[in-house]
């Protein structure tokens, strides 16, 4: 079972930060972590930035909404617990490519680390804009774009001209059948069970169903040894998890 660093960090580093990425470098190089998960949304002037929340207050010293704040204003903020602004997606990905895929490692090749990009907005036009920025990157095959709805998946597919790798989030017993059809139609690779340990327990039975259909099954936000052991026993291929210090 592969471990994916949730929000691209270890321990107390700011989430979705370059500092968090640098802190993960030893784990990535030594294979203790198989990849990173990050969150992207657009600023008021349509610049893709890495930030989880729609509002700025929890993650930074700013106020207001990301989508109502211009990128240059975001660069004057500081992420809570660090000394950097929310990073521009393109800058972060360029550095991540150096760390995850050094010389001799081919993005997308079996065993190579993967970036899981959680596109936070559900607006199809904004989703397409973010996906279009991923498409021309020379390491695009090392990135799996994650969506939550058919409209999001369709927007990623169209903007990426069918070349981008895909995954589905928030799968559960009620929506699995339609998500399997969606995943098949768009050649998605991984389906993540509804996030959190309680939701995971409630939906354990869909893990083998996902795998039997030919997809990877992922756990989402499962933290601590007991939760990871449960995911492993259930047959998960990978898990998004908050990594501890050390």
Is the separation of the CB atoms in 116 and 35 below 8 Å?
yes
Give the angle 73-133-44 at the CA atoms, nearest 5°.
25
| Confidence (pTM) | 0.97
The total domain count for the chain is 1
Each residue's pLDDT tens digit, 172-215: 999 999 999 999 999 999 999 999 999 999 999 999 999 999 99
Closest by CA to 8, choosing from 115, 98, 112, is: 115
Max Cα distance, the chain (Å) = 49
Domain hosting 153: range is 2-243
Each residue's pLDDT tens digit, 116-175: 999 999 999 999 999 999 999 999 999 999 999 999 999 999 999 999 999 999 999 999
Instruction: Output the domain CATH number for residue 226.
Output: 3.20.20.190
Average pLDDT over residues 29-45: 95
Which residue shows structure tokens 């081919």? 106
Inter-CA distances, 16 with 59, 175, 223, 232, Å: 10, 29, 18, 26
């Amino acid at each position: 079972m592969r471990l994916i660093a949730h929000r691209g960090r270890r321990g107390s580093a700011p989430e979705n930060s370059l500092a968090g990425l640098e802190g993960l470098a030893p784990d990535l190089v030594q294979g203790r972590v198989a990849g990173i998960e990050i969150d992207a949304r657009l600023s008021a002037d349509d610049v893709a930035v890495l930030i989880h929340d729609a509002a700025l207050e929890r993650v930074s010293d700013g106020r207001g909404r990301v989508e109502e704040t211009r990128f240059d204003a975001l660069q004057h903020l500081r992420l809570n617990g660090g000394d950097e602004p929310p990073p521009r997606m393109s800058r972060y990905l360029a550095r991540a490519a150096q760390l995850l895929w050094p010389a001799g490692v081919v993005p997308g090749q079996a065993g190579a680390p993967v970036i899981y990009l959680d596109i936070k907005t559900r607006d199809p036009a904004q989703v397409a804009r973010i996906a279009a920025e991923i498409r021309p990157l020379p390491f695009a095959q090392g990135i799996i774009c994650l969506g939550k709805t058919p409209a999001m998946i369709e927007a990623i597919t169209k903007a990426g001209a069918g070349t981008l790798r895909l995954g589905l989030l928030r799968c559960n017993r009620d929506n699995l059948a339609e998500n399997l059809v969606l995943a098949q139609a768009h050649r998605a690779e991984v389906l993540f069970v509804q996030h959190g340990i309680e939701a995971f327990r409630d939906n354990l039975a869909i893990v083998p169903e996902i795998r039997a259909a030919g997809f990877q099954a992922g756990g989402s936000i499962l933290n601590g040894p007991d939760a990871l052991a449960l995911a492993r026993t259930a047959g998960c291929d990978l898990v998004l998890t908050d990594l501890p210090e050390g």
